[in-house]
Amino acid sequence: MRRAPSILHLDLDAFFAAVEQRDKPSLRGKPVVVGGIGRRGVVSTASYEARVFGVRSAMSAGEAHRLAPHAAFLGGRFEAYWQSSRIVMALLGELSPRVQALSLDEAFVDLEHTAAPVDSVDGLVEFAEELRAELSQRTLGLTASVGIGTSKLMAKVASELAKPDGVRVVPAGQEATTLAPLSVRAIPGVGPVTHDKLALLGLRTVADVQQASLSELVREVGSSWGAELYELAWGRDDRPVEGQRDAKSISQETTFEYDATDRAWLEAKLDADAAHVCQRLRKHGQFARTIQIKVRFGDFTTWTRSRTLQGATDEPHRVAQVARSLLAQVDVNRGIRLLGVGVSGFVAAAQEELFLVEGDGDGAGTESSAAADSGDAFGDGPFGRRRGESYWPGADVEHDELGRGWVWGTGLGRVTVRFETRDVPSGPVRSFAVDDPQLHPVGPLPMPADQPPDSV
């Protein structure tokens, strides 16, 4: 355990929904749900205004719509979220050389050997407030909750206690008392299964676990996890903040004795290689965002292709799925001498692929809308988006005459657009044919050039 609170945890508040409200002024102060607009969709993020109605992450689309029928249900704009995330992570990198990004909206920062006043609680609060103000300025209004403690556990707990849009510092020596009143789910690694096992023993709060005997915990959840659970309940956590690993990629490739032309056999090889790569990935405690295949033909020419996910994974079936789709672009009849799978773009935690577009029927006669009062039907894809679809609720568009806006709703061959941006609020709403030559999908507006902070 560190003798002073020198680990910082930053968590952007309702990140995806906050980016949408920032970029869509008409949605500010209103309930917004990102994801969950397809019949089989799942909520990614709900704004705090939507959470008042009980909408939560990982909730089904139908349940979210039932609880908040008048909320704006939007598909994802991963490029916009990635754009803001890069700004935040760059800012954290200016604080310390050791930043451990957990996802797009969350990171640990090691404050040891920095200018942070780790020996003063008041000084740390001021430091964190300056950081949050700089972050809000650079991201044009996003907010973050910051926790600082003597360990990663306590920093994470502190940021949860600070939500939303606040700061919490847990001084050295106050770890156990801070944890005691919290649910056992506050302990990292306690999922539904462990929670239910502990509940059968009457252990529902961290204080209950603190008072339990080590032998009782070991008997119920196993020797290794029982001992770790006991230590964590008392706030004892020595996990380091891990910066970017030296390894940039992990790969597995095979050279065949004879040139292969059987696609099914080659796909089976990809499956095996993907499993091996993911085994090594998990050994390093990492998740990958980019998947690549390498193909060498019989004439020794080499072909590589990669795909970057809208998330991060260590799942063999997902890596194999992407690798197979890349192999589909290859004419295997040329004869393949070498085949390999690689992963890169490592992060320290999985980021669910919330905006994965999958085919799910032709969607004929359906309508997908940002606001429930403009239509109650859902799009057929997981997020109201079918493969290759250009328009979905929340998507950025531009009209040759009327300028930039975003998709308010789609369906029945029509696209309804609200013409506004974060700089030009509350514009008109107009509908167009889906094939209108003057209407085009576009990416998010660029963020203004960053200026290094004078002091953070």
| Domain range annotation of the chain | 182-233, 249-347
Question: CATH homologous superfamily for 182-233?
Answer: 5' to 3' exonuclease, C-terminal subdomain (1.10.150.20)
Residue 251 DSSP class: E
Instruction: Let me know if 228 is a catalytic residue.
Output: no
**Per-residue model confidence (pLDDT) at position 126:** 97
Supply the DSSP string of 195-249, one letter for each residue: HHHHHHTT--BHHHHHHS-HHHHHHHH-HHHHHHHHHHHTT---PPPP---S--E
pLDDT tens digits, 59-70 = 888 899 999 999
- Rounded to an integer, the average pLDDT of 20-26 is 96
- Rounded to an integer, the average pLDDT of 204-233 is 90
Residue 100 DSSP class: E
Sheet holding 249-260, edge to edge: 249-260, 336-347, 287-297, 302-313
Other beta carbons within 10 angstroms of residue 39's beta carbon come to 17
**Per-residue model confidence (pLDDT) at position 355:** 53
Q: Point out the least confidently predicted range of 84-93, 203-212, 232-241, 291-300.
A: 291-300
- Rounded to an integer, the average pLDDT of 360-366 is 32
**Per-residue model confidence (pLDDT) at position 273:** 86
If one compares 162 and 58, the residue with the highest pLDDT of the two is 162
Amino acid (1-letter code) at residue 180: A
Options 3.10.310.30, 3.30.1490.100, 3.30.70.260, 3.40.50.300; CATH for 249-347 is 3.30.1490.100
**For residues 163 and 145, is the Cβ–Cβ distance under 8 A?**
yes
**For residues 386 and 379, is the Cβ–Cβ distance under 8 A?**
yes
The overall average pLDDT reported for the chain is: 85
Return the sign of the alpha-carbon dihedral for residues 183, 186, 187, 193.
Answer: positive
Judged against a pLDDT cut of 80, whether residue 441 lies above it is answered with yes
* Residue 436 pLDDT class (50, 70, 90 cuts): very high
**Per-residue model confidence (pLDDT) at position 123:** 96
**Per-residue model confidence (pLDDT) at position 286:** 84
Indicate the Cα dihedral angle 85, 91, 95, 101, nearest 10°: 10
- Rounded to an integer, the average pLDDT of 1-29 is 95
If one compares 221 and 400, the residue with the highest pLDDT of the two is 400
- Rounded to an integer, the average pLDDT of 155-166 is 96
Share of the chain above pLDDT 70, in %: 87
Find the catalytic residue in 20, 49, 106, 175. Answer: 106
**Per-residue model confidence (pLDDT) at position 361:** 32
**Residue 107 forms beta bridges with which residues?**
10, 101
**Per-residue model confidence (pLDDT) at position 101:** 83
**Per-residue model confidence (pLDDT) at position 402:** 94
pLDDT tens digits, 315-342 = 889 999 999 999 999 999 988 988 989 9
pLDDT tens digits, 392-427 = 899 999 999 999 999 999 888 999 999 999 988 878
pLDDT tens digits, 265-290 = 888 889 888 888 888 888 777 889 99
- Rounded to an integer, the average pLDDT of 78-97 is 90
Judged against a pLDDT cut of 80, whether residue 39 lies above it is answered with no
* Residue 456 pLDDT class (50, 70, 90 cuts): very low
**Per-residue model confidence (pLDDT) at position 15:** 95
- Rounded to an integer, the average pLDDT of 160-183 is 96
- Rounded to an integer, the average pLDDT of 102-130 is 93
* Residue 257 pLDDT class (50, 70, 90 cuts): low
**Per-residue model confidence (pLDDT) at position 44:** 83
Distance of CA 205 to the CA centre of its chain: 28
Distance from C-alpha of 348 to C-alpha of 351, rounded to nearest angstrom: 9
- Rounded to an integer, the average pLDDT of 362-387 is 36
**Per-residue model confidence (pLDDT) at position 18:** 98
**Residue 340 forms beta bridges with which residues?**
253, 294
**Per-residue model confidence (pLDDT) at position 381:** 34
* Residue 32 pLDDT class (50, 70, 90 cuts): very high
**Per-residue model confidence (pLDDT) at position 38:** 66
If one compares 248 and 260, the residue with the highest pLDDT of the two is 260
Q: Point out the least confidently predicted range of 8-17, 184-193, 238-247, 367-376.
A: 367-376
**Per-residue model confidence (pLDDT) at position 357:** 43
- What helix, strand, coil percent values describe the chain, rounded to 5? 35, 25, 40
